[in-house]
Amino acid sequence: MSKKNREELRELGQFWTPKWIAEVMVAYFLDGKQKELFDPAVGAGAFYVALKELDKKRQIKFYGTDIDQDVVNGAFKDKIFDGRSLIEIRDFIKEPPAKKFPAIIANPPYIRHHRLSANTKKLLRQISYKYAGFDIDGRAGIHIYFLIQSLGLLENGGKLSFIMPSDTCEGVFAKKLWNWIGNNYCIERVITFESDATPFPNIDTNAMIFFISKNPKQPVFEWVRVKKESDQLLGYMLNKGCVFPDLEIIERNIEEALFTGMSRKPTEKSQYKYRLSDFARVIRGIASGANDYFFITKQMSEELEIPNKYLKLAVGRTRDVEGNTIAFSDMKKLERKGRPTLLLSLDNQRKEDLPKSLRDYIEVGEKNNLQHKALISTRNPWYKMEKRESPKFLFAYLGRRNARFVMNQAGVIPLTGFLCVYPLSDDKKFIAKLWQILNDPKTISNLKLVGKSYGSGAVKVEPRSLANLPIPEEVVMRVGIEPICTKEHQNTLFEFAYS
Ligand SMILES: C[S@@+](CC[C@H](N)C(=O)[O-])C[C@H]1O[C@@H](n2cnc3c(N)ncnc32)[C@H](O)[C@@H]1O
């Protein structure tokens, strides 16, 4: 791994499994019945090393495939692989083995969808059709297809253990994927990690381990939260000992888990009677397509002599909004700091009808080929800006622990660093109550139920998922706010799409 740069690692998705995790995953197969274990993304053999350690009598044969000859050769040289292992250079996605397996283990390559070629994506769609009978959203990374294909290659009664990023349970494709798995397989155990116990400290994703068998589904399974790296997790897997202070072990109802998303702690019904969409509408801030050009400082607008009527007061970075309100005085402060505060907001006026100063500036944009940029080229004319009413509230949607709602006293328009929250009623009392429920710590704590989690403890909330934010019934009652919209809610907390 040391010879490869980060970019190459990303292309092949090579993040090695640490020993303490590899052993925990292998322990699942030590039930005395297994004869063979298959690892479709074997790499340098982390699971084989663990198997040699735990299966002392060497009863389980090992078969591994990988596309990286160098890594596999390195492991042979280091005498990791031996006579009880069969290792093949083989692309598991393109040429899966033509047989089924009683046991499959993997830390599949984590390659995000935008790094995959169109041909690979086509093949991936076929895989999902072949095994699950449906198409998965194109934003699923290759690890999702490793899971689907491996589940498809399990023998009846077979067992699978995969370590995956938490987007497996939080991505746009999660609902379909888990409906399929939940109905056709038995989810036996799921292990999640606190950020301090993360198996991959240098990567900003939350890992989860799934233990799934090809057996009829069961109503409950064990859901574990690891608070601290320790050998208790292995003890728990091997049924050794019964006190595990470093673990939180919860017997969890499968229906609830599929509703909430298995990367998250269990929720109770009263937490999700009301959603933010009952009280407000959410859309993302403006995507200008070229902030450097469209989003300018006061000083620059004066130098360019752009008339005020073509400019809107706007805020771009979440860092530019310090507290829970944004007032005119804050915008003045940003201006003094030389931060951009003005968005060039042209409609579809013809260039000829605009003042000379603007015509000149549009030509500058054209000389820089802005009209050919992906998002901008879809607009006609290219300098036409998206429109937004100034929202009553902004939502800073990506933060370590400070995802928050902001009262927009300055009437600004937010760019994509924020989401716009529009109350469903103009009534002043309603708006004041809405502000109260949005800032209630119990509401804020529910953000983790709808956001995507990252290894560092950050949460990212997309517009559709913010609309889906559960507002605790107790908070609604205490504040005395009436829901306005009574449209049916989505069935799960994680059924969202980017808008
Ligand atoms: C996250 S690493 C895991 C390696 C090892 N099993 C471990 O746990 O440390 C994923 C491995 O998948 C391999 N890989 C990537 N694409 C593959 C493919 N299409 N077929 C088989 N292996 C692939 C990479 O070369 C890499 O070694």
- In the reported structure, the alpha carbon of residue 9 is separated from the centroid of ligand 1 by a whole-number distance in angstroms of 10
In contact, 81 and 74? CB cutoff 8 Å: no
Q: Atom 19 (ligand 1): residue with closest C-alpha?
A: 91
Q: Is 107 in the pocket of ligand 1 (CB under 6 A)?
A: yes
pLDDT at 318: 87
What is the Cα–Cα distance from 485 to 177, expressed in whole angstroms? 30
- Count of all residues that appear for the chain in the document: 499
Which among 67, 85, 164 is the best mutation to test ligand 1's pocket, defined by most ligand atoms within 8 Å of the CB?
Answer: 67
What is the Cα–Cα distance from 470 to 442, expressed in whole angstroms? 10
Task: Give the position of tokens 């959203």.
Answer: 137
- In the reported structure, the alpha carbon of residue 67 is separated from the centroid of ligand 1 by a whole-number distance in angstroms of 7
pLDDT at 499 over 70: no
- In the reported structure, the alpha carbon of residue 80 is separated from the centroid of ligand 1 by a whole-number distance in angstroms of 16
- In the reported structure, the alpha carbon of residue 66 is separated from the centroid of ligand 1 by a whole-number distance in angstroms of 6
Q: For the ranges 217-226, 268-277, 377-386, 483-492, which has the lowest average pLDDT?
A: 483-492
- Give the pLDDT band (50/70/90) at residue 2: very low
Q: For the ranges 199-203, 225-229, 266-270, 355-359, which has the lowest average pLDDT?
A: 266-270
Bridge pairing between strands 101-106 and 154-165: parallel
- Give the pLDDT band (50/70/90) at residue 383: very high
pLDDT at 497 over 50: no
Domain ranges of the chain: 6-266, 278-479
Is residue 232 helix, strand or coil?
A: helix
- CA distances 306 to 294, 298, 343, 360, Å, are 12, 10, 11, 10
495 Cβ neighbours under 8 A, 6+ residues apart:
174, 175, 468
Q: How many CB atoms lie within 10 A of CB 114?
A: 8
Give tens-digit pLDDT for 271-319. Answer: 678 899 999 999 999 999 999 999 999 999 999 999 999 999 999 988 8
- In the reported structure, the alpha carbon of residue 100 is separated from the centroid of ligand 1 by a whole-number distance in angstroms of 20
- In the reported structure, the alpha carbon of residue 68 is separated from the centroid of ligand 1 by a whole-number distance in angstroms of 8
- In the reported structure, the alpha carbon of residue 471 is separated from the centroid of ligand 1 by a whole-number distance in angstroms of 41
Q: Is 12 in the pocket of ligand 1 (CB under 6 A)?
A: yes
Q: For the ranges 17-26, 117-126, 282-291, which has the lowest average pLDDT?
A: 117-126
What torsion, rounded to 10 degrees, do the Cα atoms 343, 348, 350, 355 define?
-30
Mean pLDDT computed over 91-106: 96
pLDDT at 28 over 60: yes
Mean pLDDT computed over 259-279: 84
Q: Is 109 in the pocket of ligand 1 (CB under 6 A)?
A: yes
- In the reported structure, the alpha carbon of residue 41 is separated from the centroid of ligand 1 by a whole-number distance in angstroms of 4
- In the reported structure, the alpha carbon of residue 309 is separated from the centroid of ligand 1 by a whole-number distance in angstroms of 56
Which among 6, 37, 39, 66 is the best mutation to test ligand 1's pocket, defined by most ligand atoms within 8 Å of the CB?
Answer: 66
Q: Is 67 in the pocket of ligand 1 (CB under 6 A)?
A: yes
Q: Is 161 in the pocket of ligand 1 (CB under 6 A)?
A: no
The answer as to CATH 3.90.220 being correct for domain 278-479 is yes
- In the reported structure, the alpha carbon of residue 139 is separated from the centroid of ligand 1 by a whole-number distance in angstroms of 20
Point out the ligand 1 atom lying closest to the alpha carbon of residue 22. 8
Residue 405, CB-side half-sphere exposure with 13 Å CA sphere: 24
Which among 15, 42, 149 is the best mutation to test ligand 1's pocket, defined by most ligand atoms within 8 Å of the CB?
Answer: 42
Q: Is 278 in the pocket of ligand 1 (CB under 6 A)?
A: no
In contact, 56 and 123? CB cutoff 8 Å: no
- In the reported structure, the alpha carbon of residue 84 is separated from the centroid of ligand 1 by a whole-number distance in angstroms of 20
Q: Is 145 in the pocket of ligand 1 (CB under 6 A)?
A: no
pLDDT at 487 over 70: no
Q: Atom 6 (ligand 1): residue with closest C-alpha?
A: 42
Q: Is 13 in the pocket of ligand 1 (CB under 6 A)?
A: yes
pLDDT at 13 over 90: no
Average pLDDT over the chain, rounded to an integer: 90
- Percent of the chain's residues with pLDDT above 90: 70
Give tens-digit pLDDT for 386-441. Answer: 999 999 999 987 665 567 899 999 999 999 989 999 999 999 999 999 999 999 99
Q: Atom 8 (ligand 1): residue with closest C-alpha?
A: 17
Q: Is 42 in the pocket of ligand 1 (CB under 6 A)?
A: yes
- In the reported structure, the alpha carbon of residue 229 is separated from the centroid of ligand 1 by a whole-number distance in angstroms of 24
What is the Cα–Cα distance from 11 to 405, expressed in whole angstroms? 37
> What's the whole-model pTM score?
0.76
Q: Is 205 in the pocket of ligand 1 (CB under 6 A)?
A: no
Q: Which of the pair, 175 or 94, is modelled with greater confidence?
A: 94
What is the Cα–Cα distance from 185 to 403, expressed in whole angstroms? 36
CATH number of this structure's domain 6-266, picked from the four choices 3.40.50.920, 3.40.50.150, 3.40.800.10, 3.40.228.10: 3.40.50.150
Q: Is 149 in the pocket of ligand 1 (CB under 6 A)?
A: no
- In the reported structure, the alpha carbon of residue 109 is separated from the centroid of ligand 1 by a whole-number distance in angstroms of 5
